[in-house]
């Protein structure tokens, strides 16, 4: 009995440490996307979400992890890509992965008759997964659970590398999600939007892999502070902006 209880709490810790961006990161992606929707897409999405905002549903897929009925979607938040390789189906969880799930959700929302509940859930999942795919540690090496097994100290607080990237560097800015989204959206020139939205989803995986060399550039003592923030927070900013702009492109294609 004690062993089963311990196993439950261990699995809970692993699940809750495996989020992509933290709440504010996902909301930033959602808010930027909302600012770049066509009028028609805004109306259609509002109907599906029953007037809930995109940034406020962006964390729904993390919230439902507490509901065992959605256990099937656990692995849809991430995937494994080895350095120098493209997407390899045999490396992925048999229940699915973020890349294939995103492609399926887009196809279903565009071309399949769905119940209202299914439309709503698919949309909420799509919004979230686009964000996850722009967090470099969600396109993992397959060796350390996306940095969850890499213990570090962030400004003298013991944590892990995944948590530093999904939450702590963003929280350290002491900005609301709307403030950070507005700051990043100032960089969204027409040329940048066009370039970001033209990139195929497969290229997002290549981008994430290319960023891992910065993510894992850790000092020997694993103590991260100002220098690591200085080098890596601009990467987070770029990825949040790219995620929001690309999410808008996908939503405009489906609902516009």
pLDDT at 15: 40
| Residue 59 token pair | 């964390």
Beta strands in 102-229 (DSSP E): 139-140, 151-154, 157-160, 223-224
Residue 4 has pLDDT above 70, yes or no: no
What are the tens digits of pLDDT across the range 7-49? 433 344 344 445 668 899 999 999 999 999 999 999 999 999 9
Cβ burial, residue 199 (10 Å; 0-12/13-18/19+):
middle
What are the tens digits of pLDDT across the range 102-150? 999 999 999 999 999 999 999 999 999 999 999 999 999 999 999 999 9
Minimum mean pLDDT range among 50-64, 82-96, 215-229? 82-96
Cα-Cα end-to-end distance for the chain = 54
- What are the structural domain ranges in the chain? 2-255
pLDDT at 17: 44
Specify whether the CB–CB gap between 129 and 201 falls below 8 A: no
Minimum mean pLDDT range among 14-23, 35-44, 152-161, 207-216? 14-23
pTM > 0.95:
no
Neighbours of 1 (CB within 10 A): 5
Computed over every residue of the chain, the mean pLDDT equals: 93
- Looking at CATH, the fold of the domain delimited by 2-255 is given as P1 Nuclease (1.10.575)
What is the CA 119 to chain-centroid distance, rounded?
20
């Amino acid at each position: 009995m004690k062993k089963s209880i311990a196993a439950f709490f261990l699995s809970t810790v692993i699940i809750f440490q495996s989020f992509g961006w933290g709440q504010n990161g996902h909301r930033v992606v959602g808010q930027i996307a909302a600012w770049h929707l066509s009028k028609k897409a805004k109306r259609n999405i509002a109907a599906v979400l029953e007037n809930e905002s995109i940034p406020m549903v962006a964390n729904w897929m993390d919230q439902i992890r507490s509901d065992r009925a959605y256990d099937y979607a656990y692995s849809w938040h991430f995937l494994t890509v080895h350095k120098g390789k493209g997407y390899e189906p045999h490396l992925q969880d048999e229940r699915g992965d973020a890349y294939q799930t995103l492609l399926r959700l887009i196809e279903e929302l565009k071309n399949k008759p769905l119940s209202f509940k299914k439309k709503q859930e698919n949309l909420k999942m799509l919004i979230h997964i686009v964000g996850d795919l722009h967090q470099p540690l969600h396109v993992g090496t397959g060796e350390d659970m996306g940095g969850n097994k890499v213990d570090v100290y962030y400004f003298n607080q013991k944590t892990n590398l995944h948590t530093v990237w999904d939450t702590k560097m963003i929280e350290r800015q002491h900005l609301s999600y709307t403030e950070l989204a507005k700051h990043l959206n100032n960089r969204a020139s027409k040329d940048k939007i066009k370039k970001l939205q033209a990139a195929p989803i497969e290229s997002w995986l290549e981008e994430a892999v290319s960023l891992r060399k910065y993510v894992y550039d850790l000092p020997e003592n694993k103590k991260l502070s100002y220098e690591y923030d200085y080098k890596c927070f601009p990467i987070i900013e770029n990825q949040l902006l790219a995620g929001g702009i690309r999410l808008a492109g996908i939503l405009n294609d489906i609902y516009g």
